[in-house]
Structure 1
Amino acid sequence: MSIKRIEQGARMSGAVVHGNTVYLSGQVGEGETVKEQCEYALREVDRLLAAAGSDKSKILQTLIYLSDMSYFAEMNAVWEAWVDPANTPARATSEAKLAAPKYKVEFTVTAAI
């Protein structure tokens, strides 16, 4: 089975397709608020899924990392407005120290093609 790398860089690829599954790198967002960062990151998820031949209705699992769990409700409001309500994925949310202090949220997505 072939492996396709999307937006491959020296450190990582934006997404990797293997068989009928696409694995996205963690997506973080720009902006000051959790809402802004979530909206930005989820636009990137949409873009990478499209590049792989998929979309949010085919997401199998999402792992969400918050720099502070006090952002949970704000993140959920953005998530619920974005996610396909007929095809909600398996999901987990954890608190974690992210790659840079400016980041408040990160989404890691696995989807079918």
Structure 2
Amino acid sequence: MVDATRFPYEGLGRCEAVVSDGIVYAVATDPQGSDGILAQTQNALDELNRILEKAGSGRAGLLQATVYLSDVKQKPEMDTVWIDWIGPEENWPQRACIGVDLDEGCLVEIVVTAKVI
């Protein structure tokens, strides 16, 4: 059995975060299902802040991020919100953006790995 702290999610079959050996694995989407990539990105990042803090981390602990976009052509718009949120260069994780099919109405999903700080 893996020594891990799991932070349940209201959906079945997954957690919003898992912490193991000082590493946080987390995922966030816009819990409000807002209209538009700008609003959904901001709300997903606000949710990610909440999850990371609950797990003992934050933007300064980010190591890696994968941003899944329902339309990769919206990456420049998503980036405007991301760049404002991520802050100074010492917070910048390794990051990839990938265009994928997401649940209906979901425009962005963000998966991160971070250190407990």
TM-score interval for Structure 1 and Structure 2 normalised by the shorter chain: over 0.9
**Is 1:12 matched up with 2:14?**
yes
Structure 1 position 103 matched with structure 2 position 106: yes
Instruction: Name the structure 1 match of 2:64.
Output: 61
Between the aligned partners of 1:8 and 1:62, the Cα distance in structure 2 is 20
Deviating above 2 A after TM superposition, structure 1's stretches of 4 or more consecutive aligned residues are 7-10
Deviation at 1:92, TM superposition (A): 0.3
1:72 aligns with 2:61: no
Letter in 2 for 1:39: Q
Offset from partner CA, 1:11-62 (integer Å, 9 cap, x none): 111100001100013x111210101000110011100101111111110000
Alignment: residue pair count: 111
For 1:41 and 1:13, locate their aligned partners in 2 and report how far apart those are by CA, in whole Å: 16
Cα contact 1:57–1:84 (8 A) shared by 2: no
Amino acid at match of 2:17: A
Q: Which residue of 1 aligns with 2:98?
A: 94
The residue type paired with residue 94 of structure 2 is: A
Q: What is the CA–CA distance in structure 1 between the aligned matches of 2:78 and 2:115, rounded to whole Å?
A: 24
SS of corresponding position for 2:66: strand
How far apart are 1:84 and its partner, in Å? 2.8
**Deviation of the 1:107 alpha carbon:** 0.4
Q: For residue 91 of structure 2, give the secondary structure of its aligned residue in structure 1.
A: coil
CA RMSD of aligned residues (A): 1.3
Q: Give the letter for the 2:40 counterpart.
A: Q
Q: Which runs of 5 or more structure 1 residues have no equivalent in the other structure? A: none
Percent identical pairs in the alignment equals 33
CA distance in 1, matches of 2:53, 2:105: 27
Q: Find the partner of 1:83 among 74, 83, 86.
A: 86
